[in-house]
Each structure stands twice: as C-alpha cells, then as structure tokens.
Amino acid sequence: MIIKENQIKKFVNLIFLKMGLNKKDSALVSEQLINSDMSGHYSHGINRIFQYQNGVKKKIMAINKKPKITNHKNITMVDGQFCFGQIVMKYVCDKIIKNNQDINLISVENSAHVGRLSDYVDRLATKDFVTLIFCSGGGPNVSPFSSKKRIVGTNPFAFGMPVSKNKNFIVDFSTSQVAEGKVNIALQKKQKLLSKAIIKKNGNLSNNPIDFYNNGSLMTFGGHKGSSFMLVNEILGGLLISKNNSFKNDYIDSNNCFLISFKKKLLNKKISTKNQFSKLENEIKNSRKVKNCKKIYLPGEIENINFRKSKKKGIHYDLNFIRKLNKFAETELKLEKKYLINENR
C-alpha cells in the first residue's frame, strides 16, 4: 500500500509521543525513520518502532535523560546515557556546527540505536565538513572471519564530503554482508536473501533468514578484508572509547561511535573538488558496464531517487506490516482507532 509522507509522519509521531518522548524529540525520531523508508532502507525505518518500544520497556533506552559531554580536551567525549540515538547524534552534530572548529574528534558511547549514519555525515557535509564515522554495537550478531560465533555487531561505517553547494558524496554501509534489519524484514515477508550471508549454527552458509534467528550469525562483507575493516570499527568506534562492547558478557545493547570531522578548506585549496569529482564521476559512469547491468550508480544515488519518488507519490509499505503496526499502536500504546492508518485504502 502507498501512504503519503505527512500521513505516516502524523501516525508515527503519535506513537513516539505515547512512548513518552516530547514533541521535539518525537518529530526528530519520526522524521529520520520515515526518511529511511523513503530512501528504500526499510531496515532502518519505522520497522524499528518495535525494537525501540522494547528497549524503553526494559529500561535499556532512556526517555527523560539527555546526552552530555564528559571531556572537553583534545577529544570531545559524549555519553549518550542510552537516549534515542537520533537525539544523541543530533546533539553531536549541533556541537560540531555551532563550535565551527576546523578539526573535530568526538567519541560517543552509550547511545541507543543511532539509525542511518548517512543522516549525520550528510548534514555535516552541507556545512562544509568532511566526516568519517566508525560505529560499533548492536547484537552481537556477526562472526569475524572465519568464526561461526556471534561476537560483534554489524558495525557500520559512513563517510560524507561536500562536492558542491547542492551536492554531497555520501557512503554508509554495514560491515556485515547484510544488515540485521534487512534479515528481519526478509523473515517477515518469508523471503530468502539474495546471497548466502548467514552462517548456520552448524557452520554452513544459508540465505534463509530463519537460520540467523536459530542461533546463526551474519557474515562480514569481503571475507578476511571486510572482517578486518569490521574490527577497525569495533576497536576505534568501540573498545578504545567504551567499556560497553558487544563481545562482553555484560554488554547492554547500544551504539558507540567515533567521529572525525574536518573542514574541507583544510585540504588543497588549489584543487576544485567539484571539477575533480565530476571528472571521476564521468569516468565511472561512461565506463563499460558489467553483464546485465543497465546503469552505473554512485553511492547514495539510488537512495536519492527513491526519496524523490516517495516524496512525490508516497511511500510503499507492506500491508501486513501496517496491520502489525496498527495493532501494536492500539494494544501496546493505547492509541485510539481514529489515529490508526486506514488499512482499506
């Protein structure tokens, strides 16, 4: 079914208000989750509502606390105090933009699920910052090469760079072959994954989502090389900055992040980023395509196309998912029926 952006925003905003967030924070979390759906990344969209409510009920996610700075020296250290990750990362981005320093090194610990890292590197890129984010946490649900044991989280990485006034280059990916959220959605839809990204409990590979939830684990991308990069995220964005890490027995579900953000002007001023990038982009897009490839896309382009389409025509949601969300909102959060999404549209 197709739902207009403003309609789903009103609904989701009410859900977060019912959870206990204030109006400002409810609007923030709602917008970022829905923007993810609009971009085609349903794994980080309103599908996360169930996870968030469960976190609030178990008192893993905090409603009334706010992130705080614990160190102002060479590296700014932020304690998220298990607030909603979108709130924590907005706090961090606000600080970077307001302080307007040429170079920023920021560690973030004890944040609840931060959502898509691309939201933050993109925002900073619009303010002329080049930003890298190394993130750890979640799970544990990923096996380092070539283990079959769940040891770490999906440990995403993001990079953002301003190309021109109206164009940013954004990269955001999980260091697991497939994000756990995508496995969860495939399970709900009773679909198989496109690749054998799951390690079954017996060590064999599988593309059946049920094998992951039956004591299986996720593979890292790129074999031992991808596993090495995943461990960089685990170290730089995890154990170097926090005692709360997914490989420990006393781990509390959260995200830790390490941000490196600097002004683009610090690089070679004699070089035009726009011209250089345009030449690179043209070289890539005009190159010969691999078999069965109709068009070459750069990172972030497909998401932008999906977003514009959703903005114009509405967002496509699975009817069964909307029914599940309606039932959850009505029974779990006591939201009145008049505020639910019309399933018969």
Domain count, the chain: 1
Instruction: Show Cβ contacts of residue 194 under 8 Å, excluding neighbours closer than 6 positions.
Output: 207
Q: Which domain holds residue 14?
A: 1-59+303-345
How high is the pLDDT of residue 232?
97
pLDDT digits (tens, 9 = 90+) for 12-57: 999 999 999 999 999 999 999 999 999 999 999 999 999 999 999 9
> Does any domain span residue 114?
no
In contact, 90 and 6? CB cutoff 8 Å: no
DSSP of 167-228, one letter per residue? EEEEEEE-SBSS-HHHHHHHHHTT---SS--EE-TTS-EE--HHHHHTT-EEEBTTHHHHHH
Dump pLDDT digits (tens) for 155-181: 999 999 999 988 999 999 999 999 888
Q: Mean pLDDT over residues 259-271, rounded? A: 91
Q: 200-253, pLDDT tens digit by residue? A: 999 999 999 999 999 999 999 999 999 999 999 999 999 999 999 999 999 999
Task: Report yes or no on 265 lying in a domain.
Answer: no
What DSSP element (H or E) covers 138?
Answer: none
User: For a pLDDT cut of 70, what percent of the chain falls above it?
Assistant: 100
Instruction: Quote the CA–CA distance of 69 and 162 in Å, as a whole number.
Output: 27
pTM tops 0.85 = yes
Whole-angstrom CA distances from 266 to 33, 103, 129, 258, 263 are 33, 9, 10, 20, 6
Instruction: Flag whether 2 is in a domain.
Output: yes
Which pLDDT belongs to residue 150?
94
CATH code assigned at 317: 1.10.1530.10
For CA atoms 31, 34, 39, 45, give the dihedral sign.
positive
Tell me the CB-side half-sphere exposure of residue 89, using CA atoms within 13 A. Answer: 27
pLDDT score for 181: 86
pLDDT band with cut points at 50, 70 and 90 for residue 7: very high
317 located within any domain? yes
C-alpha span between 201 and 303 (Å, rounded): 34
pLDDT at 344: 79
How many residues in total does the chain contain? 345
Q: Would you place residue 193 in the very low, low, confident or very high pLDDT band (cuts 50, 70, 90)? A: very high
Which pLDDT band, with edges at 50, 70 and 90, does 269 fall under? confident
| Alpha carbon distance, N-terminus to C-terminus of the chain | 8
Helices marked H in the chain: 5-19, 23-38, 49-57, 85-99, 118-125, 180-188, 209-213, 223-234, 273-285, 301-313, 319-331
Determine, yes or no, domain membership for 327: yes
Average pLDDT over residues 70-83: 91
Name the β-bridge partners of 158. Answer: 133, 172
Q: Output the pLDDT for position 343.
A: 84
Is the pLDDT assigned to residue 304 strictly greater than 90? Answer: yes
Cβ burial 118-132 (10 Å sphere, 16+ → b, else e): bbbbbbbbeeebbbb
Contacts of 43 (CB under 8 A, 6+ apart): 36, 179, 180, 181, 182, 184, 185
The answer to whether residue 146 is domain-embedded is: no
Contact present, 181 and 43 (Cβ < 8 Å): yes
Q: Beta 315-316 vs 255-263: how paired, if at all?
A: unpaired
Task: Please tell me the predicted confidence (pLDDT) of residue 71.
Answer: 81
- Contact at 8 Å (CB) between 170 and 121? yes
Among candidate residues 218, 209, 215, the one with its CA nearest the CA of residue 152: 218
Tell the burial category of 105 from Cβ atoms under 10 Å away from its Cβ (0-12, 13-18, 19+).
middle
Q: In the predicted model, what is the mean pLDDT of the chain?
A: 94
Q: Is residue 338 part of a domain?
A: yes
- The letter for the amino acid at 91 is Y
pLDDT at position 345? 66
99 in a structural domain: no
